[in-house]
Amino acid sequence: MHAEPHEKKKIQVLDSALICHIDESALFEEQSESSHKLADMATKEFPKMAFMSRPMQDVFSDDFAKNADFKKVFKAIAGSSDYDYLVQINDQEAMPSSDAERAVKLRELFDGITKNTAKEDLYWHMKMTMLVTLAKKEGCSYIFMADSSTQQAIKMISMTSKGRGYSIPFDIGVENDMTFPDLAILRPMKDMLSKEIGLYNRFMGLEEYVIPPTDFNTGKPAKSSIERLTEEFITTLDRDFPSTVSTISRTASKLTPLNDMDMSKKCAICSM
Protein backbone atom coordinates (compact mmCIF):
# COMPACT_ATOMS: atom_id res chain seq x y z
CA MET A 1 0.00 0.00 0.00
CA HIS A 2 2.91 2.35 0.60
CA ALA A 3 6.32 2.60 -1.07
CA GLU A 4 8.98 5.16 -0.12
CA PRO A 5 10.50 7.17 -3.03
CA HIS A 6 13.94 5.60 -2.50
CA GLU A 7 12.53 2.04 -2.58
CA LYS A 8 12.92 1.59 -6.32
CA LYS A 9 12.04 -2.11 -6.39
CA LYS A 10 8.75 -1.68 -4.54
CA ILE A 11 5.55 -0.85 -6.39
CA GLN A 12 2.45 0.56 -4.72
CA VAL A 13 -0.23 -1.90 -5.76
CA LEU A 14 -3.18 -0.58 -3.76
CA ASP A 15 -4.24 2.91 -2.72
CA SER A 16 -6.44 1.81 0.13
CA ALA A 17 -7.66 -1.30 1.96
CA LEU A 18 -10.67 -2.23 4.05
CA ILE A 19 -10.51 -4.69 6.95
CA CYS A 20 -13.73 -6.70 6.90
CA HIS A 21 -14.79 -8.78 9.89
CA ILE A 22 -17.76 -11.16 10.02
CA ASP A 23 -18.94 -11.28 13.65
CA GLU A 24 -19.98 -14.86 14.51
CA SER A 25 -20.92 -14.22 18.16
CA ALA A 26 -24.56 -15.19 17.45
CA LEU A 27 -23.32 -18.76 16.88
CA PHE A 28 -20.27 -18.84 19.15
CA GLU A 29 -20.36 -16.96 22.46
CA GLU A 30 -16.55 -17.06 22.68
CA GLN A 31 -16.45 -14.52 19.85
CA SER A 32 -18.65 -11.96 21.65
CA GLU A 33 -15.88 -9.35 22.14
CA SER A 34 -14.05 -10.02 18.87
CA SER A 35 -15.57 -7.12 16.96
CA HIS A 36 -14.62 -4.49 19.57
CA LYS A 37 -11.15 -5.97 20.01
CA LEU A 38 -10.45 -5.94 16.27
CA ALA A 39 -11.87 -2.43 15.83
CA ASP A 40 -9.53 -1.14 18.58
CA MET A 41 -6.58 -2.94 17.01
CA ALA A 42 -7.35 -1.55 13.55
CA THR A 43 -7.64 2.02 14.87
CA LYS A 44 -4.42 1.73 16.84
CA GLU A 45 -2.18 -0.29 14.51
CA PHE A 46 -3.60 0.33 11.03
CA PRO A 47 -5.04 3.88 10.99
CA LYS A 48 -4.77 4.07 7.18
CA MET A 49 -7.20 1.18 6.75
CA ALA A 50 -10.95 1.43 7.19
CA PHE A 51 -12.58 -1.20 9.43
CA MET A 52 -15.96 -2.82 8.89
CA SER A 53 -17.73 -5.44 11.00
CA ARG A 54 -21.01 -7.11 10.09
CA PRO A 55 -22.76 -9.73 12.25
CA MET A 56 -23.27 -13.06 10.50
CA GLN A 57 -27.03 -12.93 11.08
CA ASP A 58 -27.16 -10.00 8.64
CA VAL A 59 -27.13 -12.67 5.95
CA PHE A 60 -30.93 -12.55 6.42
CA SER A 61 -31.09 -8.77 5.91
CA ASP A 62 -32.09 -7.11 2.63
CA ASP A 63 -28.44 -6.39 1.75
CA PHE A 64 -27.78 -10.09 1.23
CA ALA A 65 -31.14 -11.89 1.07
CA LYS A 66 -32.52 -9.97 -1.91
CA ASN A 67 -30.53 -12.29 -4.17
CA ALA A 68 -33.22 -14.69 -5.43
CA ASP A 69 -30.82 -17.64 -5.69
CA PHE A 70 -29.58 -17.12 -2.16
CA LYS A 71 -33.12 -16.96 -0.73
CA LYS A 72 -33.91 -20.41 -2.06
CA VAL A 73 -31.19 -21.91 0.11
CA PHE A 74 -32.39 -21.02 3.60
CA LYS A 75 -35.50 -22.83 4.71
CA ALA A 76 -35.99 -25.05 7.73
CA ILE A 77 -38.23 -28.03 7.02
CA ALA A 78 -39.27 -30.14 10.00
CA GLY A 79 -38.37 -33.81 9.72
CA SER A 80 -36.29 -33.47 6.57
CA SER A 81 -32.70 -34.50 5.99
CA ASP A 82 -29.88 -31.96 6.30
CA TYR A 83 -29.53 -31.37 2.60
CA ASP A 84 -33.24 -30.97 1.91
CA TYR A 85 -33.16 -28.48 4.74
CA LEU A 86 -30.81 -26.20 2.81
CA VAL A 87 -32.51 -26.03 -0.57
CA GLN A 88 -36.20 -25.43 0.07
CA ILE A 89 -37.71 -22.13 -1.07
CA ASN A 90 -38.27 -19.46 1.56
CA ASP A 91 -41.17 -17.44 0.17
CA GLN A 92 -44.03 -17.83 2.60
CA GLU A 93 -42.46 -16.10 5.60
CA ALA A 94 -41.05 -12.59 5.85
CA MET A 95 -37.38 -12.02 6.57
CA PRO A 96 -36.80 -11.10 10.25
CA SER A 97 -36.42 -7.35 10.71
CA SER A 98 -34.55 -6.98 14.01
CA ASP A 99 -31.00 -8.10 14.78
CA ALA A 100 -32.18 -10.32 17.65
CA GLU A 101 -34.72 -12.10 15.40
CA ARG A 102 -32.09 -12.67 12.74
CA ALA A 103 -29.70 -14.11 15.36
CA VAL A 104 -32.40 -16.56 16.50
CA LYS A 105 -33.11 -17.55 12.88
CA LEU A 106 -29.39 -18.14 12.29
CA ARG A 107 -29.09 -20.37 15.36
CA GLU A 108 -32.25 -22.28 14.38
CA LEU A 109 -30.85 -22.86 10.91
CA PHE A 110 -27.66 -24.46 12.25
CA ASP A 111 -29.38 -26.28 15.14
CA GLY A 112 -31.60 -28.01 12.59
CA ILE A 113 -28.62 -29.50 10.77
CA THR A 114 -27.41 -32.67 12.49
CA LYS A 115 -24.17 -33.36 10.60
CA ASN A 116 -21.14 -31.21 11.43
CA THR A 117 -19.81 -31.57 7.88
CA ALA A 118 -23.00 -29.99 6.47
CA LYS A 119 -22.87 -27.24 9.12
CA GLU A 120 -19.28 -26.37 8.19
CA ASP A 121 -20.06 -26.19 4.49
CA LEU A 122 -23.08 -23.92 4.88
CA TYR A 123 -21.23 -21.76 7.42
CA TRP A 124 -18.31 -21.28 5.00
CA HIS A 125 -20.54 -20.52 1.99
CA MET A 126 -22.55 -17.96 3.98
CA LYS A 127 -19.37 -16.18 5.07
CA MET A 128 -17.98 -16.20 1.54
CA THR A 129 -21.24 -14.84 0.10
CA MET A 130 -21.23 -12.03 2.67
CA LEU A 131 -17.60 -11.14 1.92
CA VAL A 132 -18.20 -11.05 -1.85
CA THR A 133 -21.40 -8.97 -1.46
CA LEU A 134 -19.67 -6.48 0.85
CA ALA A 135 -16.62 -6.26 -1.44
CA LYS A 136 -18.83 -5.43 -4.44
CA LYS A 137 -20.82 -2.91 -2.40
CA GLU A 138 -17.63 -1.14 -1.25
CA GLY A 139 -16.20 -1.16 -4.77
CA CYS A 140 -13.25 -3.43 -3.96
CA SER A 141 -11.25 -5.09 -6.73
CA TYR A 142 -9.68 -7.80 -4.57
CA ILE A 143 -10.45 -9.91 -1.53
CA PHE A 144 -7.34 -11.03 0.36
CA MET A 145 -7.96 -14.25 2.28
CA ALA A 146 -5.69 -15.34 5.13
CA ASP A 147 -5.58 -19.06 4.26
CA SER A 148 -2.27 -20.60 5.30
CA SER A 149 -0.52 -23.48 3.56
CA THR A 150 -1.78 -25.83 6.29
CA GLN A 151 -5.39 -24.72 5.75
CA GLN A 152 -4.97 -25.11 1.98
CA ALA A 153 -3.78 -28.70 2.38
CA ILE A 154 -6.66 -29.58 4.74
CA LYS A 155 -9.20 -27.97 2.40
CA MET A 156 -7.88 -29.77 -0.67
CA ILE A 157 -8.16 -33.25 0.88
CA SER A 158 -11.48 -32.62 2.66
CA MET A 159 -13.13 -30.98 -0.38
CA THR A 160 -12.04 -33.84 -2.63
CA SER A 161 -13.49 -36.28 -0.06
CA LYS A 162 -16.79 -34.37 -0.12
CA GLY A 163 -17.00 -34.39 -3.91
CA ARG A 164 -15.96 -30.77 -4.53
CA GLY A 165 -12.82 -31.65 -6.47
CA TYR A 166 -14.05 -29.80 -9.58
CA SER A 167 -14.00 -26.43 -7.80
CA ILE A 168 -10.65 -26.76 -6.00
CA PRO A 169 -8.88 -24.33 -8.40
CA PHE A 170 -11.43 -21.68 -7.36
CA ASP A 171 -11.81 -22.63 -3.70
CA ILE A 172 -8.14 -22.83 -2.76
CA GLY A 173 -6.16 -21.52 -5.74
CA VAL A 174 -3.70 -18.66 -5.24
CA GLU A 175 -5.79 -16.41 -7.45
CA ASN A 176 -9.42 -16.73 -8.48
CA ASP A 177 -10.45 -14.01 -10.93
CA MET A 178 -12.98 -16.11 -12.86
CA THR A 179 -15.83 -16.84 -10.43
CA PHE A 180 -16.93 -13.26 -9.79
CA PRO A 181 -16.84 -10.53 -12.44
CA ASP A 182 -14.64 -7.52 -11.56
CA LEU A 183 -13.49 -9.17 -8.30
CA ALA A 184 -10.43 -11.35 -7.69
CA ILE A 185 -9.87 -13.52 -4.61
CA LEU A 186 -6.20 -13.73 -3.61
CA ARG A 187 -4.49 -15.86 -0.96
CA PRO A 188 -1.11 -14.22 -0.28
CA MET A 189 -0.30 -16.39 2.77
CA LYS A 190 -0.63 -19.68 0.93
CA ASP A 191 3.09 -20.54 1.34
CA MET A 192 3.16 -20.00 5.13
CA LEU A 193 2.59 -22.90 7.53
CA SER A 194 0.21 -22.20 10.42
CA LYS A 195 3.08 -23.00 12.81
CA GLU A 196 5.27 -20.39 11.10
CA ILE A 197 2.51 -17.79 11.49
CA GLY A 198 2.14 -18.71 15.18
CA LEU A 199 5.89 -18.36 15.77
CA TYR A 200 5.99 -15.04 13.88
CA ASN A 201 3.14 -13.68 16.03
CA ARG A 202 5.02 -14.72 19.15
CA PHE A 203 8.41 -13.28 18.15
CA MET A 204 6.86 -10.00 16.93
CA GLY A 205 4.75 -9.58 20.08
CA LEU A 206 1.43 -9.83 18.21
CA GLU A 207 -0.16 -12.49 20.43
CA GLU A 208 -2.36 -9.97 22.24
CA TYR A 209 -4.15 -9.33 18.93
CA VAL A 210 -4.80 -12.99 18.18
CA ILE A 211 -8.41 -14.10 18.71
CA PRO A 212 -8.63 -17.92 18.83
CA PRO A 213 -11.10 -18.98 16.13
CA THR A 214 -14.14 -20.99 17.16
CA ASP A 215 -16.24 -23.19 14.91
CA PHE A 216 -18.46 -26.26 15.05
CA ASN A 217 -15.45 -28.56 15.54
CA THR A 218 -13.66 -26.71 18.34
CA GLY A 219 -12.90 -29.25 21.07
CA LYS A 220 -14.68 -32.04 19.16
CA PRO A 221 -13.17 -35.51 18.52
CA ALA A 222 -11.42 -36.20 15.21
CA LYS A 223 -14.36 -38.09 13.68
CA SER A 224 -16.91 -35.32 14.26
CA SER A 225 -16.68 -34.19 10.61
CA ILE A 226 -14.74 -34.79 7.40
CA GLU A 227 -12.78 -31.55 7.76
CA ARG A 228 -11.90 -32.23 11.41
CA LEU A 229 -10.74 -35.75 10.50
CA THR A 230 -8.66 -34.38 7.62
CA GLU A 231 -7.12 -31.76 9.92
CA GLU A 232 -6.11 -34.48 12.42
CA PHE A 233 -4.67 -36.61 9.59
CA ILE A 234 -2.63 -33.78 7.98
CA THR A 235 -1.29 -32.23 11.19
CA THR A 236 -0.31 -35.64 12.65
CA LEU A 237 1.39 -36.64 9.39
CA ASP A 238 3.13 -33.29 9.11
CA ARG A 239 4.62 -33.72 12.60
CA ASP A 240 6.65 -36.74 11.41
CA PHE A 241 7.00 -35.80 7.74
CA PRO A 242 7.41 -32.00 7.59
CA SER A 243 7.11 -31.77 3.80
CA THR A 244 3.52 -33.12 3.80
CA VAL A 245 1.69 -29.78 3.78
CA SER A 246 3.96 -28.07 1.24
CA THR A 247 3.69 -31.05 -1.14
CA ILE A 248 -0.13 -31.05 -1.02
CA SER A 249 -0.27 -27.24 -1.39
CA ARG A 250 2.05 -27.27 -4.40
CA THR A 251 -0.11 -29.94 -6.02
CA ALA A 252 -3.22 -27.85 -5.37
CA SER A 253 -1.63 -24.76 -6.95
CA LYS A 254 -1.06 -26.70 -10.21
CA LEU A 255 -4.75 -27.52 -10.65
CA THR A 256 -6.60 -25.49 -13.26
CA PRO A 257 -10.31 -25.35 -14.16
CA LEU A 258 -11.66 -27.22 -17.19
CA ASN A 259 -11.46 -25.25 -20.44
CA ASP A 260 -15.06 -26.07 -21.39
CA MET A 261 -16.54 -25.05 -18.01
CA ASP A 262 -19.73 -22.99 -18.41
CA MET A 263 -19.03 -19.92 -16.25
CA SER A 264 -22.59 -18.59 -16.66
CA LYS A 265 -24.15 -21.42 -14.62
CA LYS A 266 -23.56 -21.07 -10.90
CA CYS A 267 -24.51 -22.92 -7.72
CA ALA A 268 -27.00 -20.99 -5.56
CA ILE A 269 -25.23 -21.99 -2.35
CA CYS A 270 -21.52 -21.63 -3.07
CA SER A 271 -21.59 -19.32 -6.16
CA MET A 272 -19.04 -21.59 -7.91
Q: Which of 78-82, 136-140, 170-174, 242-246 has the lowest mean pLDDT?
A: 78-82
- Please tell me whether residue 50 adopts helix, strand or coil conformation: strand
User: In 10 A of CB 137, how many CB atoms?
Assistant: 11
Q: Which residues pair with 51 in a beta bridge?
A: 19
Percent of the chain exceeding pLDDT 70 equals: 87
Instruction: Dihedral sign for Cα 148, 48, 51, 139, please.
Output: negative
Give, in order, the Cα–Cα distances in Å from 194 to each of 92, 99, 151: 45, 35, 8
- Please tell me whether residue 186 adopts helix, strand or coil conformation: strand
> Which helix (H) or strand (E) element contains residue 179?
strand 175-180
Does residue 125 surpass a pLDDT of 60? Answer: yes
141-257 belongs to CATH 3.30.413.10: no
Instruction: Dihedral sign for Cα 71, 113, 26, 215, please.
Output: negative
User: In 10 A of CB 142, how many CB atoms?
Assistant: 16
Does residue 110 surpass a pLDDT of 90? Answer: no
- Please tell me whether residue 183 adopts helix, strand or coil conformation: strand
Does residue 85 surpass a pLDDT of 60? Answer: no
Q: Give the tens place of pLDDT for each residue, 33-83.
A: 888 888 888 888 888 888 998 888 888 777 776 655 555 555 544 455 555
Q: Which of 54-68, 91-105, 148-162, 177-191 has the lowest mean pLDDT?
A: 91-105
> Which helix (H) or strand (E) element contains residue 143?
strand 142-144
What is the pLDDT at residue 203? 94
Strands 142-144 and 175-180: unpaired
Identify the residue with better confidence: 175 or 71.
Answer: 175
Does residue 123 surpass a pLDDT of 60? Answer: yes
Q: Where are the domains of the chain?
A: 141-257
Q: What's the alpha-carbon Rg for the chain, to the nearest Å?
A: 20
